Amino acid sequence: MGLFQRGPARIRLDGAVVLVTGGARGIGARTACAAGDRGAHVWIGDLDPDLAERAATGAQCRRLDVTDPASWQSLVDEIVRVHGRIDVLVNNAGVMPTGSLIAQPLAEIDLTLDVNVRGVLLGMRAVLPTMIAARRGHIVNVASMAGELPLPGMVTYNASKYAALGASLAARREYEAAGIAVCAILPAAVRTELSSGADLGGTLPTVDPEQVADAILHTLRSRAAQTSVPQWVSPAWRVADLLTPEPLMRLARGVADDDQALRINANAGRRGYLDRIADQTRAHAEPGIRESGIAESDISASGIAE
């Protein structure tokens, strides 16, 4: 792309074909509903399409395993057969196990990296050919402030979200000349089931899933490379990280209780989420179980705590 060449064209939601992954709960469901309310043709890919259909009335809901290329291709082929194109992909599905790295089961590490990183890459690969052919498209990868802010108790999750952010920024450069905008969203703590067991008050920035959904859809106008939610969090963190001596930063982190992810699994309120993570980990480790209908959206994560 030339120095003064215009970037990818804006895509209007009214009439756009939008695919949202992990759309049965939380951020994904709110994004699907908001896009539908603004006139988009919305498709949801989730391991529990029945739950997604109840969460986002009017959306076309299909089963999707984001770690499986064939599952992606089947859904993309169907959407293209119906509409002839895909205008917007929202890569939202994800998982967020927490706790000490050395205590984390290897299967849980595999699940986190496969869903949060492989799922994002496979999603982009699946939709890019049709977007390139149309010379237009918009991809939003829901990463996390954990893609910039390292936290004790979230080593694997941090690794996956740093990767998702890096992949987004690289793909943005690689495909902008083809008319495709790739944007990353970095939510802070989000008030959904994933935050169960965590103290979301005090110094921890916290938002509602509707706010993240609004930020996702706003990227169709802004086409910003990355957007934190709240918007001030990412710029403030970069400045603080650059200018604050490590001893002072360590003190500030202690005041902010930044290591609570090491402890939240002991809280009774997180039990339901942990049970679903265990089921999903087992299903992912044993592919034959994947057809059991465990809902990926039950454990989808798009922020430090979706």
Sort 255 into a burial class: Cβ within 10 Å, 0-12 / 13-18 / 19+. exposed
Residue 2 lies in a domain: no
Residue 213 lies in a domain: yes
Q: Nearest-CA neighbor of 118 among 160, 158, 88, 149? A: 160
Residue 66 lies in a domain: yes
Residue 60 lies in a domain: yes
pLDDT at residue number 198 = 59
Active-site residue identified among 157, 162, 175, 273: 157
Question: Which residues of the chain are modeled with pLDDT < 50?
Answer: 1, 3-4, 289-306
Q: Residue 187 — φ and ψ, nearest 5°? A: -75, 150
Our count of domains for the chain comes to: 1
State whether the Cα torsion 105-111-114-117 is positive or negative: negative
Q: Nearest-CA neighbor of 24 among 306, 297, 305? A: 297
Residue 53 lies in a domain: yes
Q: Nearest-CA neighbor of 21 among 146, 103, 124, 173? A: 124
Tell me which residue range forms the domain holding 264.
Answer: 17-299
* Angle, CA of 84, 183 and 297, to the nearest 5°: 75
Is 175 noted as a catalytic residue in this protein?
A: no
Residue 11 lies in a domain: no
pLDDT at residue number 298 = 36
pLDDT in tens, 42-65: 999 999 999 999 999 999 999 999
* pTM of the predicted structure, to 2 decimals: 0.86
pLDDT at residue number 287 = 65
Instruction: Provide the CATH number for the domain around residue 63.
Output: 3.40.50.720
Residue 8 lies in a domain: no
Residue 46 lies in a domain: yes
**Joined tokens for residue 146:** 């954990």
**Joined tokens for residue 282:** 């087992």
pLDDT at residue number 300 = 38
pLDDT at residue number 252 = 63
pLDDT in tens, 221-265: 999 999 999 888 877 767 766 777 777 767 666 666 677 767 677
pLDDT at residue number 290 = 43
Sort 235 into a burial class: Cβ within 10 Å, 0-12 / 13-18 / 19+. exposed
